[in-house]
């Protein structure tokens, strides 16, 4: 009835009615109630445009209606009403066969939460999906993985050498209480240790930024190195000779050779770790060195930060070499002049694999890989993100690769919050430099409020600013310096010493303090003085800082909206590392993709993976 009434109202209001004719209304109502197309006008005033075919009587009246004709909704069969006693005296149960009915994807009526969720899900798909750059991992798989590692609580549960186990707490993670393996360590360490066959196997380790991937690949590789050394006949023969000669040299009147035979591993390393930058060589090399003190193996670092003389003498040291952490360029050029240096590599680890297999690095990375491939037992690729292009490359080149991924891969931890500054509004009027400086001043001033003026010291906040273009790093850093902020650009041309000093202060977990010259924290960070002593700032592109363990960083400013979700993950990943809290601030200008920022923010809030 409602349909008819409204159709009448429509008929009465939408078109002028011929006063002589109520029949037109009745006819219109009739046709509309039958869901027939209706053409406007009055039959009797000559304004009607009814198709002549409608006046032709059906020649099918005697036939039974087709199923789809039974319903007013074409194509949808009408449900047969069975009346109040329809359920009685049945001889079968009306139960659907097969899988239970899935819950509807659509929001239920009167359920506000469901409705909102539906809306946000649809919106999420809109902007991020358009530029989806990351491989998706089903949530079912993530849940299964989570369950599988729930029982691993300690490093003692892994079949690692006792010296390695104790080196974790005594050397690498010294000072930390209640040490537990992280999800990627729980997943990867047993799987890498359990490889029985000496035939080459390939692995991909993918886990969130700052989640301990370095130890996840180093511990099993060093374990394998020491296990192989224990059964190596060349090494045991050399050791016997060494012991014999040292004993002889202690005898009075010894006149034999003063030098030892070269170690069998001279210029023949077993474990190679490739990383994209010299800073990462130092960082990963430091972890390897600290393990080597306890476990006794020779680890060396090769990068632009190390002199050619030192590199040469380390590689060709008669005492041998076991593990090298290097940039691919350096190792590839060394292998060009002496291909044998890669002839006995058993473990090749390619850290930051998404960078090392992208256009700028892939030729040198594959040059090292190709030379080492014949002897490799484990090839381990490691990354915090699996971009689609890396995924495609891996599917093509390494079809049997084991992928070890953590339950939270591609999600930015909830403990990292993301704030947005609309730079198009007052007082910035699209001046991003000003907005950036202002944000840093606010962080500094906020920290100063908690300074204890009696101690005469104020804690220094370490802040990272990310830009999209390398050329912009210097420009922004200079502007910040002009606003009294201690800022440095992280790029090739920055003075090396200044760069490493700054980076060191960002990678040390120890709190840093500055002196309070006038006793009052408020006056020190007053704008009138034009200097902000309690902040240190690095301006970088994420490539320059990829993988750097900036444990001291709590604030990250995204000066430019990142081009992809991959960049969001790596940039925000410099804060909130290993369970710490962090804060991101994104500066959004008038030409920036606000929808993407909103969606990233929403995903972060909901703890979902970015796409």
The residue range among 56-64, 312-320, 327-335, 547-555 that interacts with ligand ATP, by the rule CB under 6 A, is: 547-555
> With binding defined as CB under 6 A, does residue 173 bind ligand ATP?
yes
Q: Which CB sits closer to ligand ATP, 444 or 573? A: 573
> With binding defined as CB under 6 A, does residue 211 bind ligand ATP?
yes
From the CB of 212, what's the least distance to ligand ATP, in Å? 3
For residues 183 and 146, give the distance between their C-alpha atoms in angstroms, rounded to a whole number. 8
> With binding defined as CB under 6 A, does residue 582 bind ligand ATP?
no
For residues 391 and 396, give the distance between their C-alpha atoms in angstroms, rounded to a whole number. 9
Residues in contact with ligand ATP, shown as a per-residue x/- string from 374 to 393 under the rule CB under 6 A: ----------x---------
For residues 354 and 389, give the distance between their C-alpha atoms in angstroms, rounded to a whole number. 9
From the CB of 311, what's the least distance to ligand ATP, in Å? 24
To the nearest 10°, the Cα dihedral for 189, 191, 192, 194?
110
From the CB of 570, what's the least distance to ligand ATP, in Å? 7
Out of 32, 135, 145, 182, the residue judged to bind ligand ATP by CB under 6 A = 182
Q: Which residues contact 415 (CB under 8 A, 6 or more apart)?
A: 576, 579, 580, 581, 582
Q: Which CB sits closer to ligand ATP, 401 or 578? A: 578
For residues 345 and 343, give the distance between their C-alpha atoms in angstroms, rounded to a whole number. 6
Residue 355 CA, chain-centre distance (Å), reads 13
**How many residues would you count in the chain?**
611
> With binding defined as CB under 6 A, does residue 209 bind ligand ATP?
yes
For residues 485 and 533, give the distance between their C-alpha atoms in angstroms, rounded to a whole number. 7
Out of 41, 181, 328, 484, the residue judged to bind ligand ATP by CB under 6 A = 181
The residue range among 76-84, 204-212, 372-380, 469-477 that interacts with ligand ATP, by the rule CB under 6 A, is: 204-212
Listed in sequence order, the DSSP H helices in 174-277 are: 183-193, 213-230, 233-250
Cis, peptide link before residue 607, omega less than 30° from 0 = no
> With binding defined as CB under 6 A, does residue 353 bind ligand ATP?
no
From the CB of 548, what's the least distance to ligand ATP, in Å? 7
For residues 54 and 52, give the distance between their C-alpha atoms in angstroms, rounded to a whole number. 5
Q: Which CB sits closer to ligand ATP, 211 or 565? A: 211
Which of 23, 68, 73 is closest to 45 using CA atoms? 23
Closest-CB residue for ligand ATP? 212
The 378-383 sheet, strands edge to edge: 299-302, 323-326, 271-274, 347-350, 378-383, 201-206, 402-405
Q: With CB under 6 A, what is the number of residues at the site for ligand ATP?
A: 21
For residues 198 and 186, give the distance between their C-alpha atoms in angstroms, rounded to a whole number. 23
Out of 41, 212, 533, 582, the residue judged to bind ligand ATP by CB under 6 A = 212
From the CB of 188, what's the least distance to ligand ATP, in Å? 11
Count of CA atoms in the C-beta half-sphere (13 A) of 323: 30
Binders of ligand ATP in range 383-442 (CB under 6 A): 384
Which of 238, 193, 233 is closest to 347 using CA atoms? 193
Q: Which residues contact 362 (CB under 8 A, 6 or more apart)?
A: 356
The residue range among 75-83, 113-121, 174-182, 186-194 that interacts with ligand ATP, by the rule CB under 6 A, is: 174-182
From the CB of 528, what's the least distance to ligand ATP, in Å? 39
Which of 461, 207, 459 is closest to 351 using CA atoms? 207
Out of 41, 183, 210, 484, the residue judged to bind ligand ATP by CB under 6 A = 210
Out of 214, 326, 365, 521, the residue judged to bind ligand ATP by CB under 6 A = 214
From the CB of 347, what's the least distance to ligand ATP, in Å? 17
Residues in contact with ligand ATP, shown as a per-residue x/- string from 271 to 310 under the rule CB under 6 A: ----------------------------------------
Find the distance separating the first CA and the last CA of the chain, reported in whole Å. 49
Name the phi and psi angles at 580, rounded to 5: -80, 165
Q: Which CB sits closer to ligand ATP, 181 or 533? A: 181
From the CB of 577, what's the least distance to ligand ATP, in Å? 5
Q: Which CB sits closer to ligand ATP, 176 or 248? A: 176
> With binding defined as CB under 6 A, does residue 320 bind ligand ATP?
no
Are 198 and 377 in contact by the 8 Å Cβ rule? The answer is yes
Q: Which CB sits closer to ligand ATP, 576 or 589? A: 576
Neighbour tally for 399: CB within 10 Å: 8
The residue range among 403-411, 446-454, 535-543, 546-554 that interacts with ligand ATP, by the rule CB under 6 A, is: 546-554
Listed in sequence order, the DSSP H helices in 106-212 are: 112-130, 139-148, 162-167, 183-193
Out of 149, 188, 551, 586, the residue judged to bind ligand ATP by CB under 6 A = 551
Out of 202, 282, 542, 549, the residue judged to bind ligand ATP by CB under 6 A = 549
Out of 9, 12, 179, 248, the residue judged to bind ligand ATP by CB under 6 A = 179
> With binding defined as CB under 6 A, does residue 213 bind ligand ATP?
yes
From the CB of 242, what's the least distance to ligand ATP, in Å? 34
Which of 314, 337, 317, 316 is closest to 326 using CA atoms? 314
If you ran DSSP here, which 8-state letter would residue 417 be given?
E
Q: Which CB sits closer to ligand ATP, 355 or 603? A: 355
Residue 592 CA, chain-centre distance (Å), reads 22
Q: Which CB sits closer to ligand ATP, 189 or 321? A: 189
From the CB of 172, what's the least distance to ligand ATP, in Å? 6
Q: Which residues contact 402 (CB under 8 A, 6 or more apart)?
A: 191, 201, 202, 203, 204
In the block, residue with structure tokens 């023969």: 237
From the CB of 345, what's the least distance to ligand ATP, in Å? 21
From the CB of 282, what's the least distance to ligand ATP, in Å? 12
Q: Which CB sits closer to ligand ATP, 164 or 384? A: 384
Radius of gyration of the chain (CA): 35
Neighbour tally for 17: CB within 10 Å: 17
Residue 211 CA, chain-centre distance (Å), reads 11
> With binding defined as CB under 6 A, does residue 545 bind ligand ATP?
no
The residue range among 95-103, 210-218, 232-240, 517-525 that interacts with ligand ATP, by the rule CB under 6 A, is: 210-218
Q: Which letter, b or e, does each residue of 314-325 get, where b requires 16 or more Cβ atoms within 10 Å of its Cβ? A: bbebeebbbbbb
For residues 167 and 291, give the distance between their C-alpha atoms in angstroms, rounded to a whole number. 6
For residues 602 and 607, give the distance between their C-alpha atoms in angstroms, rounded to a whole number. 8
Out of 578, 580, 593, 601, the residue judged to bind ligand ATP by CB under 6 A = 578
Q: Which CB sits closer to ligand ATP, 268 or 574? A: 574
Q: Which residues bind ligand ATP (CB under 6 A)?
A: 173, 176, 179, 181-182, 185, 207, 209-215, 384, 547, 549, 551, 573, 577-578
């Amino acid at each position: 009835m409602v349909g008819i009434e409204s159709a009448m109202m429509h008929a009465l209001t939408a078109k002028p009615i011929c006063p002589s004719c109520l029949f037109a209304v009745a006819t219109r109502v009739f046709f509309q109630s039958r869901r027939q197309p209706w053409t406007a006008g009055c039959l009797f005033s000559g304004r009607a445009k009814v198709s002549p075919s409608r006046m032709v009587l059906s020649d099918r009246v005697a036939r039974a209606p087709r199923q789809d004709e039974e319903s007013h909704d074409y194509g949808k069969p009408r449900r047969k009403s069975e009346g109040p006693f329809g359920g009685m005296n049945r001889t079968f149960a009306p139960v659907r066969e097969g899988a239970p009915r899935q819950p509807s994807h659509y929001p239920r009526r009167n359920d506000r939460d469901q409705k909102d969720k539906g809306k946000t899900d649809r919106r999420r798909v809109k902007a991020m999906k358009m530029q989806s750059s990351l491989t998706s991992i089903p949530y079912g798989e993530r849940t299964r993985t989570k369950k599988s590692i729930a029982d691993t609580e300690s490093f003692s549960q892994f079949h690692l050498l006792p010296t390695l186990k104790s080196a974790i707490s005594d050397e690498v993670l010294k000072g930390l209480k209640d040490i537990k393996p992280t999800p990627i360590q729980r997943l990867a360490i047993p799987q890498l240790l359990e490889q029985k066959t000496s035939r080459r196997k390939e692995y991909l380790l993918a886990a969130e930024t700052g989640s301990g991937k370095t130890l996840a690949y180093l511990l099993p590789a060093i374990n394998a190195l020491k296990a192989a050394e224990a059964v190596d006949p060349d090494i045991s023969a050399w050791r016997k000779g060494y012991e014999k000669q040292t004993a002889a040299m202690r005898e009075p009147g010894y006149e034999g050779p003063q030098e030892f035979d070269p170690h069998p591993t001279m210029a023949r390393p077993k474990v190679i770790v490739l990383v994209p930058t010299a800073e990462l060589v130092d960082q990963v090399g430091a972890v390897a060195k600290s393990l080597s003190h306890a476990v006794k193996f020779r680890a060396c670092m090769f990068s632009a930060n190390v002199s050619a003389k030192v590199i040469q003498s380390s590689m060709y040291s008669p005492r041998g070499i076991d593990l090298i952490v290097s940039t691919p360029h350096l190792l590839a050029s060394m292998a060009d002049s002496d291909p044998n240096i890669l002839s006995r590599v058993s473990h090749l680890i390619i850290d930051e694999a998404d960078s090392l297999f992208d256009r700028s690095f892939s030729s040198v990375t594959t040059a090292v890989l190709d030379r080492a491939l014949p002897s490799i037992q484990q090839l381990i690729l490691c990354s915090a993100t699996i971009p689609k292009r890396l995924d495609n490359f891996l599917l093509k080149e390494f079809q049997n690769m084991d992928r070890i991924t953590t339950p939270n891969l591609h999600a930015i931890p909830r403990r990292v919050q993301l704030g947005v500054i609309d730079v198009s509004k007052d007082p910035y009027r699209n001046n991003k430099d000003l907005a950036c400086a202002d944000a840093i001043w606010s962080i500094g001033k906020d920290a100063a409020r908690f300074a204890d003026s009696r101690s005469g010291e104020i804690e220094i906040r370490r802040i990272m600013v990310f830009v999209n273009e390398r050329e912009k790093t210097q420009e922004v850093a200079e502007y910040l310096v002009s606003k009294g902020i201690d800022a440095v650009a992280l790029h090739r041309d920055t003075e090396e010493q200044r760069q490493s000093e700054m980076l060191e202060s960002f990678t040390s977990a120890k709190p840093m303090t500055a002196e309070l010259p006038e006793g009052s924290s408020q006056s020190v960070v007053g704008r009138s003085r034009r200097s902000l002593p309690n902040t240190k700032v690095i301006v970088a592109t994420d490539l320059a800082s990829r993988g750097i363990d900036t444990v001291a960083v709590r604030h990250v400013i995204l000066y430019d909206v990142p081009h992809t979700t991959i960049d969001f993950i790596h940039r925000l990943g410099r804060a909130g590392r290993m369970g710490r809290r962090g804060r991101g601030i994104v500066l959004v200008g008038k030409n920036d993709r606000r929808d993407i920022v909103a969606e990233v923010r929403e995903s972060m809030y909901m703890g979902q993976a970015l796409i």
